[in-house]
Amino acid sequence: MKAKRIFDPKTSVLIVFSLAILVTFALPGLSGGIASADDCPWTLGCPDDCEFTTDFRLQDCRWFQSIGINPYFKLIPGYKLVLESDEERAEITVLRDTKWIRLGDRWIRTRVVEERAYEWDEGEWVLIEISRNWFAICNKTNAVYYFGEDSRDCEDGFDENDDCEGGADITGSWEAGVNGAQPGLMMPGTFLLGAKYFQEIAPLNDAVDRGENVAMGLSVVTPAGTFDHCVKVVDTNPAEGQCGDEDFKIYCPGLGVVQDANLELVCYGFHCDDE
């Protein structure tokens, strides 16, 4: 999951990251996270890095569900979201596939969510990225956690067999439990204004997206319809020098993401491929 836009390739920057000395952050399902600037033992490139929690008390989740519904995030196989702008298109599909992730002595079964990114070029959509993301829902808090992705970028576009001439760029790929990477929080079970959290914790792969809950109770108009009671999350990525309000996503109840910066929802449900 990229911060600048859903599918932007990440710049390859090696960052030394130490997870330590985090204090309590009062948000259900999250614990630890905000340290004062003087106490902050690490930084990823932004002065406010230590305001974003990385400790989610995953040990309190007795099990994780690979199928389920968070108010703003659905893990139901076959469910699909399509977002478009004049120049970009994103297709997000919950697959029937699952992936097992090993964290210490625990094995967690996650759901595969495929993202396909297109750019409009000379009168047609060109597929430039294919990403298979791994999510699971904590049984205790109903929070959705992000366990990594298998990401492939192809600057000149994939062919009809999803092959990239010259090989695809896999820089954005990462997996929790590998090379020190840990799960990030994608969507809290309870949405609280002001909450700040890392969505990705894989600094050696430049996967350090952050989320900040900045608004709720929104009404949003998209080509797919008008939706109420929506929430807004600002995404930033210190590895790409994004420390301010660089990007945002809007999520609506029972749907998921309906706007990603300039991309707006044009289709959702189980029949988008029929259009």
Do 10 and 20 meet the contact criterion of CB atoms below 8 Å apart?
A: no
Domain contains 241: yes
- pLDDT for 274 equals 62
Mean pLDDT, range 103-107, rounded to an integer: 94
Domain contains 189: yes
Domain contains 34: no
Strands (E), the chain: 64-65, 68-70, 73-75, 80-84, 88-103, 106-121, 124-138, 144-153, 174-175, 184-187, 196-198, 210-222, 225-236, 247-252, 256-260, 263-269
Per-residue pLDDT band at 40 (split at 50, 70, 90)? low
Q: pLDDT digits over 82-103, tens only?
A: 999 999 999 999 999 999 999 9
Domain contains 5: no
Domain contains 33: no
Distance CA 171, CA 230 (A): 32
Q: Which residue has the higher pLDDT, 92 or 275?
A: 92
* Token pair in block for residue 181: 């990477």
Per-residue pLDDT band at 240 (split at 50, 70, 90)? confident
Q: pLDDT digits over 57-86, tens only?
A: 999 999 999 999 999 999 999 999 999 999
The domain tally of the chain equals 1
Question: By mean pLDDT, which of 17-31, 95-109, 124-138 is the weakest?
Answer: 17-31
- pLDDT for 45 equals 77
Does the pLDDT at position 2 exceed 90? no
DSSP 3-state of 57: coil
Domain contains 25: no
> In terms of Cα–Cα distance, which of 152, 200, 147, 149 is closest to 177?
147
Q: Which domain holds residue 111?
A: 49-274
Domain contains 137: yes
Domain contains 225: yes
- pLDDT for 204 equals 87
Full-model pTM:
0.86
Q: pLDDT digits over 186-201, tens only?
A: 999 999 999 999 999 9
- pLDDT for 244 equals 80
Mean pLDDT, range 121-131, rounded to an integer: 95
